[in-house]
């Protein structure tokens, strides 16, 4: 992963960082790096995720999904960090095995999806670290019923990915389902490089070793200076820009295959850093499509944004046919990739010309290795940001509050959070 910070400097952007400001920030990055390395060495909660390139066991994952090698499709039933990492890999990488995700309990969507799936040749992966998340367990019960109704032996087509305890673990034991363990110390949104993100990728035939190799290369680039570490450079500058007023981070990849990456990033950034009145609100955009919508706001709206432009340096390209139509001949001889690159550079320049801070992030191409780099790099960026902002990056109390309130409302426990729902102030 390569990061270009030029358009985040105060010579170009407002808010922006002076070169002295960057040097001062670099001293703090050195301390943050030491804390991160200590956390990794002790495999402390959260920091353990940054060890996954070494600790994940691709052979174990491949062996666990071997019984599903003939599946036409794989359905992941999970939510948040238990779905988005796998979805990012699935939508980033081409495969002959289709991947589907049930990460919402919208009944219309659930029914439509189940009606369209070849249930007798679909592998179902039920993923929940806690094993207690209502949406995931409810969806699983619905999927199970649908399989029974279709005469499919669901126990043959289902495996679970979960922690040591919880209802899902108990269910797996009771039904003798294959089970993959969610590693200790790895919060959901940091779990893409573990069993949680990689099982679906394995069924789809993706090269897990290459994903982990890319992540490991990025891990090797973590260093005590932001000038030596692209991941820290991105995270530290995003933090410093937030301090200077960039309360929004618009993630804008220029590749359809990275659209879900922007969603994954939004979760990582929001759930990890949104604490104690801090954090950047992530916005999701897709280049070049959203140049024709959101870019207007990014360039000329409130000066409260960092725009992150991500692109692969190479991609499978397609020539634009020549035409003698007046005014269109300039397109002939170019390719759609050339045009997309031109759009990328135009957006970057347009933002810079308006003094709007933006950072360029590049990977070689959208493949296993580069996705491993990008995902690991953004996780490390998030962790260093959290260190600098002194927030508790690896907890999610607001998310837990909502989970308890919803369970309480359905009678799944006596949670005081549910009472607060009843006390809602109404004005209609």
CA distances from 326 to 208, 322, 323 (A): 49, 11, 8
Q: Where along the sequence are the contacts to ligand PA5 (CB under 6 A)? A: 79-82, 128-130, 133, 136, 187-189, 271, 396, 399
The Cα–Cα gap between 137 and 21 comes to: 49
Cβ distance to ligand PA5 smaller for residue 133 or 204: 133
275 is catalytic: no
99 to 68, 284, 303: CA distances (angstroms): 13, 22, 39
User: What is the helix (H) or strand (E) element at residue 281, kind and residue range?
Assistant: strand 281-284
Residues 304 and 247: their CA atoms lie apart, in Å, by: 5
In whole angstroms, the minimum distance from the beta carbon of 62 to ligand PA5 comes to 22
Nearer CB in complex with ligand PA5: 320/399: 399
Q: Which of 96, 108, 174, 292 is catalytic?
A: 292
For residues 39 and 80, which CB has a smaller minimum distance to ligand PA5 in the complex? 80
N- to C-terminal Cα distance for the chain? Answer: 50
Cα separation, 364 vs 234, in Å, equals: 17
Closest C-alpha among 199, 204, 215 to residue 59: 199
**Least distance between ligand PA5 and beta carbon 383 (Å):** 14
In total, the chain counts a number of residues equal to 428
Using CB positions, name the residue nearest to ligand PA5. 188
| Between 53 and 80, CB nearer to ligand PA5 | 80
> CB–CB of 140/126 below 8 Å?
yes
Active-site pick, 275, 305, 403, 404: 403
User: Which one, 81 or 287, has the nearer CB to ligand PA5?
Assistant: 81
Query: How many C-alpha atoms does 407 have within 13 Å on its Cβ side?
Result: 17
Coil, helix or strand at residue 417:
helix
Known catalytic residue at 403: yes
Least CB distance from residue 128 to ligand PA5, whole Å? 3
Quote the CA–CA distance of 387 and 45 in Å, as a whole number: 14
Q: Strand 2-4 to strand 358-363: parallel, antiparallel, or no bridges (unpaired)? A: antiparallel
Quote the least distance from Cβ 322 to ligand PA5, whole Å. 49
C-beta of 45 vs 278, nearer to ligand PA5: 45
CA dist 312 and 202 (Å) reads: 23
Q: How far is the CB of 385 from ligand PA5 (least distance, A)?
A: 16
Which residue in the list 135, 146, 263, 271 is annotated as catalytic?
271
- CB 136, min distance to ligand PA5, A: 5
Q: Which residues are catalytic?
A: 271, 292, 403
């Amino acid at each position: 992963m390569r990061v270009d910070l030029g358009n985040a400097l105060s010579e170009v952007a407002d808010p922006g960082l002076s070169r002295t400001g960057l040097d001062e920030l670099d001293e703090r990055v050195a301390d943050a790096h030491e804390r991160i390395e200590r956390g990794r060495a002790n495999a402390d909660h959260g920091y353990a995720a940054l060890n996954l390139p070494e600790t994940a066991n691709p052979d174990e994952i491949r062996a666990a999904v071997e019984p599903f090698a003939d599946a036409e499709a794989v359905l992941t039933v999970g939510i948040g960090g238990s779905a988005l990492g796998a979805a990012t890999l699935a939508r980033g990488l081409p495969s002959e095995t289709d991947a589907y995700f049930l990460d919402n309990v919208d009944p219309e969507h659930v029914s439509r999806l189940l009606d369209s799936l070849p249930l007798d040749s679909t592998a179902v992966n039920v993923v929940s670290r806690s094993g207690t998340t209502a949406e995931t367990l409810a969806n699983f019960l619905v999927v199970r019923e649908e399989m029974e109704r279709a005469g499919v032996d669901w126990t043959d087509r289902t495996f679970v990915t979960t922690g040591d305890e919880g209802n899902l673990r108990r269910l797996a034991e009771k039904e003798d389902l294959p089970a993959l363990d969610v590693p200790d110390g790895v919060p959901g949104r940091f779990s893409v490089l573990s069993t949680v993100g990689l099982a679906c990728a394995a069924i789809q035939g993706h090269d897990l070793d290459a994903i982990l190799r890319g992540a490991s290369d990025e891990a090797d680039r973590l260093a005590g200076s932001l000038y030596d570490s692209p991941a820290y450079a991105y995270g530290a500058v995003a933090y410093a820009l937030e301090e200077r007023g960039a309360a929004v981070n618009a993630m804008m990849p220029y590749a359809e295959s990275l659209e879900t990456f922007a969603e994954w990033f939004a979760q990582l950034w929001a759930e990890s850093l949104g604490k104690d009145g801090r954090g950047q609100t992530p916005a999701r955009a897709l280049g070049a499509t959203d140049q024709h919508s959101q870019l207007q706001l990014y360039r000329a709206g409130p000066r409260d944004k960092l725009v992150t432009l991500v692109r692969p340096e190479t991609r499978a390209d397609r020539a634009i046919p020549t035409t003698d139509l007046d005014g269109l001949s300039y397109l002939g001889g170019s390719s759609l990739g050339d045009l997309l690159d031109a759009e990328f550079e135009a957006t970057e320049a347009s933002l810079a010309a308006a003094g709007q801070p933006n950072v360029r992030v590049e990977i070689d191409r959208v493949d296993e290795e580069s996705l491993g780099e990008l995902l690991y790099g953004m996780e490390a960026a998030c962790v260093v940001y959290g260190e600098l902002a002194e927030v508790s990056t690896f907890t999610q109390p607001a998310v837990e509050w909502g989970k308890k309130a919803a369970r309480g409302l359905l009678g799944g426990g006596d949670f005081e959070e549910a009472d607060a729902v009843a006390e809602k102030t109404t004005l209609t």
